[in-house]
Amino acid sequence: GQQLNQSPQSMFIQEGEDVSMNCTSSSIFNTWLWYKQDPGEGPVLLIALYKAGELTSNGRLTAQFGITRKDSFLNISASIPSDVGIYFCAQGAQKLVFGQGTRLTINP
Amino acid sequence: DAMVIQNPRYQVTQFGKPVTLSCSQTLNHNVMYWYQQKSSQAPKLLFHYYDKDFNNEADTPDNFQSRRPNTSFCFLDIRSPGLGDAAMYLCATSRVGTGSEKLFFGSGTQLSVL
């Protein structure tokens, strides 16, 4: 079945630093989604990407759909304490498969 | 606001005692999903309803069942919960057929099994 490899698994950064995480897929689909999950809550959609090469921003977040269609990255600029959480990439048609997540911790 | 609502937020049950988790949506989406998420892991799809059509994942245990009586509501039934079924259960919805497979999640139900 489809597998998503997300890295890094965890990040420990200082407030104000930029963050970069990525995801690679064993299959090609037409959508890449990035979600953030706070403790005890459901995932919240951050960015959706629909075609190869697409670069989309949402505030301090930027995500790109890789040209090969098998990878995507998410960048967070100038991190703040509320960015703490787990970030998941996801892909699929009709039903989503999730990456293992990147746990972001920020030291003030 | 249109949303996905899960009740209860926290559920405690006894080993082997049937439990039902509920989900409702005001988004009028045609697909509803149930995911299981264990600590520090990714959400894992259990099954989904495409309108009234039930789609079970191959590795979902028979212990897990689901009902969707109408567009707005979907239930997860765990017939005989075991200790290994303790997890966060996430309901999600999407409108498939528009070219967008974005899923919208509820806040989840954290299930504890004693």
Q: For B10-65, how does the pLDDT look when each residue is reduced to its tens digit (9 = 90+)? A: 999 999 999 999 999 999 999 999 999 999 899 999 999 999 999 999 999 999 99
Listed in sequence order, the residues at least 6 apart from A74 whose beta carbon sits closer than 8 Å to its beta carbon are A20, A21, A22, A34, A46, A47, A61, A62, A63, A87, A89
Residue B2 reports pLDDT greater than 70: no
Are the C-beta atoms of residues B94 and B33 closer than 8 Å to each other?
yes
Report the pLDDT averaged over residues B76-92: 97
Report the pLDDT averaged over residues A83-96: 89
Q: For B85-102, how does the pLDDT look when each residue is reduced to its tens digit (9 = 90+)? A: 999 999 999 987 665 578
Mutate to test the interface with B, among A35, A54, A94 (most CBs of B within 10 A): A94
Residue B72 reports pLDDT greater than 90: yes
Q: Which of A98, A83, A71, A78 is nearest to A38 (CA)?
A: A83
Task: Pull the structure tokens for residue B5.
Answer: 């609502």
C-alpha–C-alpha distance, residues B23 and B75, integer Å: 6
Q: Of the ranges A59-73, A82-96, B88-102, which one carries the lowest mean pLDDT score?
A: B88-102
Residue A32 reports pLDDT greater than 80: yes
CA-atom Rg of chain A in angstroms: 13
Please give, rounded to a whole number of angstroms, the shortest distance from the CA of A36 to a CA of chain B: 11
Q: Which of A14, A19, A26, A42 is nearest to B23 (CA)?
A: A42
Listed in sequence order, the residues at least 6 apart from B60 whose beta carbon sits closer than 8 Å to its beta carbon are B46, B47
Contacts of B107 in chain A (CB under 8 A): 40-42
